[in-house]
């Protein structure tokens, strides 16, 4: 029996339309650079996860909530933290192999999403 691993990459971008002022319409495009910086500060390791623990680390923000969403869109894990920290470790016991979105809520109420591949032996 052959086993195949399918990886799906999800891209996110921000596009803002036109703003209206007294002189007429002027284009205002926002750049995704700030979002890329925030994403680069969020580390999830090991990724792919081959055991039952994964560490989530944010260099500039405090983590207040972690959610794990499977590829079908079902939330399979949720944990809120009374004491936010930059680094949290979660147990993936009972989480089957697959591709997941890790959704992090920060202390400033921002939501950041990154992909996690769970591939336990």
Query: 112: domain CATH number?
Result: 2.60.40.1220
Element (H, E) at 34: helix 33-41
- Whether the model clears a pTM of 0.75, i.e. scores above it, the answer is no
Helix-then-strand count for the chain, H and E: 1, 9
Is 18 within the bounds of a domain? no
Is 93 within the bounds of a domain? yes
Domain that holds residue 104: 44-118
Is 11 within the bounds of a domain? no
Is 1 within the bounds of a domain? no
**What Rg value do the Cα atoms of the chain yield, rounded?**
18
Q: What is the pLDDT of residues 51-101, one digit of tens each?
A: 889 999 988 889 999 999 999 999 999 999 988 899 999 999 999 999 999
**Phi, psi torsion values for 34, nearest 5 degrees:** -60, -40
Tally the domains of the chain.
1
Q: Which residue has the tokens 């969020």?
A: 42
Is 72 within the bounds of a domain? yes
Is 77 within the bounds of a domain? yes
């Amino acid at each position: 029996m052959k086993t195949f691993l399918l990886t799906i990459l999800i891209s996110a971008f921000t596009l803002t339309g036109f703003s209206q002022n007294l002189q007429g319409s002027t284009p205002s495009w926002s750049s995704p650079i700030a979002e890329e910086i925030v994403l680069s500060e969020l580390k999830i390791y090991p990724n792919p996860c081959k055991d039952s623990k994964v560490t989530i680390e944010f260099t500039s923000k405090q983590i207040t909530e972690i959610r794990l969403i499977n590829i079908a869109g079902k939330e399979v894990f949720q944990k809120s933290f009374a004491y936010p920290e930059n680094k949290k470790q979660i147990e993936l016991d009972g989480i089957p192999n697959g591709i997941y979105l890790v959704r992090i809520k920060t202390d400033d109420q921002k939501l950041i999403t990154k992909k996690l591949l769970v591939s336990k032996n």
